[in-house]
Homo-oligomer: A and B are copies of this chain.
Amino acid sequence: MNASLQLDAQGRLRHLLTTEGLPAAMIRHILDTADQFVSVNEREVKKLPLLRGKAIFNVFFENSTRTRTTFEIAAKRLSADVINLNIGASSTSKGETLLDTVYNLQAMDADMFVVRHAQSGAPHLIARHVKPGVAVINAGDGRHAHPTQGLLDMYTIRHYKKDFSGLTVAIVGDVLHSRVARSQIHALKTLGVPELRVVGPKTLIPADVERMGVRVFHDMDAGIKDCDVVIMLRLQNERMNGALLPSAGEFYKAYGLNASKLAKAKPDAIVMHPGPMNRGVEIESSVADGHQSVILPQVTFGIAVRMAVMSILAGQAPGGSA
């Protein structure tokens, strides 16, 4: 998967497929643009005409009401026309059918595709085949990437911690299966976080993860000690009670974030989670709802970040293009 696919010859954002290889300047441009939209979303009339007359297709080959909704809201706030398509995996079992679906939608004069797919690399395949002027946003592909989630997490960290250069960040839980973790790790490394840790049982940490420049911890207390940011990952239901994990209860005991474990981190550490949470599995309710939690602000910032990505891709960002 060629990361350069997402930048054009002038270094402008052409698609958003992954945070891997996304230059720090582009990440900062996206976050700065999102800053302006956060204030729009607090206004009485949460609406800008930046994408008026543009057709944005939410093409979800894998169902996700929550993620689809965030893109739908972001697009509507920019006055785009939004078309939601939930396409069962069954109707696109063959690779060529996926492209035929895309070619057909493109022939309807689509301007942007927001693509979710269970197969890693599907949005890249689409990006390689769309016409000039049509942009692709990866809304989650297999275990590979979920770049808008990664970027909203960067926005959140920057909002609370200002600067990445002195931070210790821990990502806790099922790193192995998490596209969110991958997108976070790439962005955090690019933005210069000096100490990046992943914490979890051996069965849920990728074998080669240290090559990405992270430190591996299997002990939770050691892993979150002195952290500025603690990012909890969602434990997929299908993993629980499977071969990789003794049980949800055992997992919670070892890696679930409760108040006493959180006390190991810095006193002003923030707690993040991409949602939806399994309370009592990854995280104790008192921590999820506590004063260190920024889980709901993540959602709010996520709308602004998606508006930023869409407007930059359409060449319509309010403060000019990067």
Chain B residues whose C-beta falls within 8 Å of the C-beta of A105 in the assembled complex? 69
- Name which residue of chain B comes closest to A86, CB basis: B65
Of A104, A279, A303, which is in contact with the most chain B CB atoms at under 10 Å from its CB? A104
1/0 per position for A269-287, CB-CB distance to B under 8 A? Answer: 0000001110100000100
A129 to chain B, nearest CB (A): 11
A195 at the interface (CB under 8 A from B): no
The stretch among A12-20, A41-49, A260-268 that forms the contact with chain B is A41-49
Chain B residues whose C-beta falls within 8 Å of the C-beta of A296 in the assembled complex? 103-104, 106-107
A278 to chain B, nearest CB (A): 9
A301 to chain B, nearest CB (A): 9
A52 at the interface (CB under 8 A from B): yes
A96 at the interface (CB under 8 A from B): yes
Docked-complex contact B285 and A96, CB < 8 angstroms: yes
1/0 per position for A156-171, CB-CB distance to B under 8 A? Answer: 0000000000000000
A45 to B55, CA, bound (A): 9
A32 at the interface (CB under 8 A from B): no
A285 to B94, CA, bound (A): 13
A152 to chain B, nearest CB (A): 11
Docked-complex contact A52 and B47, CB < 8 angstroms: yes
Chain B residues whose C-beta falls within 8 Å of the C-beta of A277 in the assembled complex? 100
Chain B residues whose C-beta falls within 8 Å of the C-beta of A279 in the assembled complex? 96, 100
A72 at the interface (CB under 8 A from B): yes
A69 to chain B, nearest CB (A): 6
Docked-complex contact B303 and A104, CB < 8 angstroms: no
Number of copies: 3
Chain B residues whose C-beta falls within 8 Å of the C-beta of A97 in the assembled complex? 276
A53 at the interface (CB under 8 A from B): yes
A236 to B39, CA, bound (A): 48
Contact of A72 (CB < 8 Å), options: B54, B76, B83, B106: B83
- Name which residue of chain B comes closest to A65, CB basis: B85
Chain B residues whose C-beta falls within 8 Å of the C-beta of A96 in the assembled complex? 279, 285
A299 at the interface (CB under 8 A from B): yes
Contact of A300 (CB < 8 Å), options: B66, B109, B285: B109
Docked-complex contact B46 and A299, CB < 8 angstroms: no
1/0 per position for A78-110, CB-CB distance to B under 8 A? Answer: 000101011100000000110011011111110
A296 to B107, CA, bound (A): 6
A4 at the interface (CB under 8 A from B): no
Docked-complex contact A108 and B47, CB < 8 angstroms: no
A290 at the interface (CB under 8 A from B): no
Docked-complex contact B53 and A109, CB < 8 angstroms: no
* 17 A-B contacts (beta carbon < 8 Å): A42-B109, A43-B53, A44-B53, A45-B52, A55-B73, A65-B85, A65-B87, A66-B104, A69-B105, A73-B83, A76-B81, A76-B83, A77-B81, A104-B296, A104-B299, A107-B296, A107-B297
